Amino acid sequence: NHAHVIIEVEREQHRSEIIVKWRNQVLTATSTVKDMYQSLSQTIQKIEKQALRLKNKIIDKSHKAKPASEVAPVLEEVVPESSEPSIINEDSYETKPMSTEEAAIRLEEDGDYFLVFRDASNERVSVMYKRKDGNLGLIQP
């Protein structure tokens, strides 16, 4: 994640360009006006709008998710012939309070398959996970 800022003067016009690379997204904006500070300010405003749209897109994507109970297939019980899988206890798993929107953004940023968190609106433990169809599932026991 990084940003690249270009400021140049051409025929008494100040041109500013900002390129922001975040994960697999690239945000770009340019402005050309007579004042350098106005040019930079306008370009920053354009980048802020793009970043907000991207954030809302990620949040909207998470709101389309259905609870796991609605989409989980009923599986027949299969008894393995060989050894049973081992259960490995984790020493600890921190459940930070956050909104479902924050959880969706964090899950997308971290690249994990699931996130256990404490829902800030009701203090209950919830699980958000990536579904095969690209949406995010939300389990709220």
pLDDT value of position 89: 65
- In contact, 7 and 14? CB cutoff 8 Å: yes
pLDDT tens for residues 34-75?
Answer: 998 899 899 999 988 888 888 877 776 666 655 555 545 555
Which H helix or E strand runs over 72? none
**Residues of the chain whose pLDDT is less than 70?**
60-83, 85-95
> Which class for 26: exposed (0-12), middle (13-18), buried (19 or more C-beta within 10 A)?
exposed
pLDDT value of position 132: 83
Q: β-strands 114-119, 97-98: how paired?
A: parallel
Closest CA relative to residue 104, chosen from 66, 55, 140, 70 = 55
pLDDT value of position 33: 92
Amino acid letter for position 134: G
pLDDT value of position 116: 84
> Which class for 11: exposed (0-12), middle (13-18), buried (19 or more C-beta within 10 A)?
exposed
The pTM assigned to this predicted structure is 0.45
pLDDT value of position 65: 52
Gap between the Cα atoms of 11 and 58, Å rounded: 41
Number of helices (H), then strands (E), in the chain: 3, 7
Closest CA relative to residue 140, chosen from 127, 129, 130 = 127
Gap between the Cα atoms of 88 and 109, Å rounded: 26
